[in-house]
Amino acid sequence: MHCGVGEYTRFLASALKSIAPWLELMVFTSTKRGTEPWRDQLLDIEVIPVFDEGDLGYGRLLDVLTEIGGVDILHVQHEYGIFGRSLRLVKAVDEARNEKLVKKVVVTMHTIFHPSSRRDKETEFQRLLNIFDAIVVHSILQEFELQWQGVEPKRVHRISHGTLINPYLGFPRGALSSSLGIDPGVLKGLIIAVPGFIRHDKGLDILFEALNKLKDLDTTVVVAGEPRDKTVISLIDSAKAEHNIVLLDKYLSNDEILRVIGLADILILPYKDRVGTYSVSGILHLSMGGLKPIIGSRTPRLVELYQYAPRLTVPSRDPLELAEKIKWAVNNYDYAVAYMATLYGYAARTQWPRMARRHLELYTKLLVGKIREPPLPEETITPTD
C-alpha cells in the first residue's frame, strides 16, 4: 500500500514479531485492492481486507472478528484519509466491545486537528476518543492538543514514531547512485536530497527559491518520491534550467529511500504545514537514521527536529532564511554533523524494536493492569569479617 500509515504498520508489525515472536498478529486492511486475504510472506502475517475506505462500513470487520473468536487487542492505525471523519468507526468499536469480540481497543491518531483548522467533523470525532481504551500519539503537540479537546489524560500515550538506522552509511556514492538508476556522472558538488511523496506542501518551491540566492554553491538536488501533485512536477521541470536536479518520480520502497538518504550530504525538508494540523513526519525519522545534517522548517510535522536540533530549523515559507542555513551548513559541515549528535541520540532511542516494546508494554498493561517486569536475580551476599 503506497501510504505512510501502511509503511508505519509494516515497520511496527515487523518490530513486534522480532521482539516477541510468540505473538499472534493479524493485519486488517481496507478493501481498496480487493477482498481476498493474503499472507505477507516476509512477516509471516495474515492480511485480511475488512473495511471500505472513507468510513463507508465495518460490517465485515465484525464478521471476521466473530469468525476468529475475537482478539485481545484491536489496534486501529487511524488516518482521516483512510477512515474518514464520520462516527461509524466509533460505533463499530462500541459494537465489537459489546459483543465481546475485543478485550481492549487502541487507536493511534496519526493526525490531530486543532479547531483553527476549521475541520469541524474531525474535531467532533476527536472529542469521542474516550471510547478507546488507549490513544497513541507521536508528538508532544498532539498529546496536549487532545487533552485540551477533552480526551482523558490517562488514555493518551505518547510513543514516538519508530526510526531505522540507515544500513547504507558509508557506502560509495557511485554504488548507491547506480543502484537507484542514477548516472553517477550527473552528481556534482554537494548532494541535497528531498525524499518522500512529491506534493505542494513539501516546499520544493521554497527550496528552489533559496538555491537561487546561492548561485556560487555547487549542488545537485535529488528529489525522490511518488508524484502526488502534477503542478509540482512542472515546477521541478522549470527549475532544471537553473539547478542540477535529479528527479526520481516513482514510488520508492523504504530500502530505496534509505539509499537516497545514504547518497545525500544534507537532507532538506522545507515543509509547509496546513493551519491547525498536527502530525509527525515518517520521512524525518528515516532521515534521522542516516546520521546526516537535516535542515527543516519549524512546522508541527518536524517538531522533533526543532526539539533536538533547533539551530538547523528555519521559519516555514522563508527562502532567505533557508538559503542562509544551507550556506552555514555547507561552510561548517563538520560542525553541523557534530551539532546533530543530540538528534542522532534520539534516533537511537526511538529505533523500531524499542518503540515496539513500548507498544507491547501498553498492550500488557491494558490487559493485566500492570506491566510485568522480569524478576531480578537473587543477590548473593557474602558475609564480611
β-bridge mates for residue 105, sequence order:
74
Residue 234: other Cβ atoms inside 10 A: 10
Rounded Cα distance, 302 and 319, in Å: 17
Residue 2 has pLDDT above 70, yes or no: no
Ranges of each domain in the chain = 4-161+352-368, 173-346
Residue 63: other Cβ atoms inside 10 A: 11
Cα 277 to chain centroid distance, Å, stands at: 15
Residue 220: other Cβ atoms inside 10 A: 20
Angle value at C-alpha 101, between 95 and 103, nearest 5 degrees: 100
**What is the grid cell recorded at 381?**
551476599
Tell me: the pLDDT tens digits for 246-299? 999 999 989 999 999 999 999 999 999 889 999 999 999 999 999 999 999 999
Sorting pLDDT into bands at 50, 70 and 90, what band is 33?
confident
| Multiple choice CATH, 173-346, 1.10.760.10, 3.40.50.2000, 3.20.20.140, 3.40.50.300 | 3.40.50.2000
Tell me: the pLDDT tens digits for 60-92? 899 999 999 999 999 999 999 888 887 888 899
Residue 383 has pLDDT above 50, yes or no: no
For cell 509547509, name the residue. Answer: 272
**96 Cβ contact partners less than 8 Å away, ≥ 6 residues apart:** 61, 62, 65, 74, 102, 105
- Looking at residue 376, its pLDDT comes to 46
Rounded Cα distance, 313 and 182, in Å: 29
Tell me which residue of 245, 261, 3 sits closest to 110, measured CA to CA: 3
**What is the grid cell recorded at 87?**
462516527
| Multiple choice CATH, 4-161+352-368, 3.40.50.2000, 3.40.50.720, 3.40.109.10, 3.30.43.10 | 3.40.50.2000
Classify residue 323 as exposed, middle or buried by CB count within 10 Å of its CB (0-12, 13-18, 19+).
buried
Which amino acid type is present at position 16?
L
Rounded Cα distance, 228 and 180, in Å: 20
Q: What separation in angstroms does the CA of 295 have from each of 69, 141, 151, 158, 377? A: 49, 20, 34, 25, 47
Residue 143: other Cβ atoms inside 10 A: 20
- Looking at residue 378, its pLDDT comes to 46
Radius of gyration of the chain (CA): 23
Residue 176 has pLDDT above 70, yes or no: yes
Residue 207 has pLDDT above 70, yes or no: yes
Q: What separation in angstroms does the CA of 179 have from each of 155, 174, 190, 225, 357? A: 45, 9, 19, 16, 34
Q: Do domains 4-161+352-368 and 173-346 have the same CATH topology?
A: yes
- Determine the average pLDDT of the residues in 187-206: 95
What percentage of residues in the chain have a pLDDT greater than 70? 95
- Looking at residue 87, its pLDDT comes to 84
368-371 long-range CB contacts below 8 Å, 24 or more apart?
A: none
Strand locations in 14-155 (E) = 26-30, 38-40, 45-51, 71-78, 102-109, 112-113, 134-137
First-last CA distance in the chain: 69
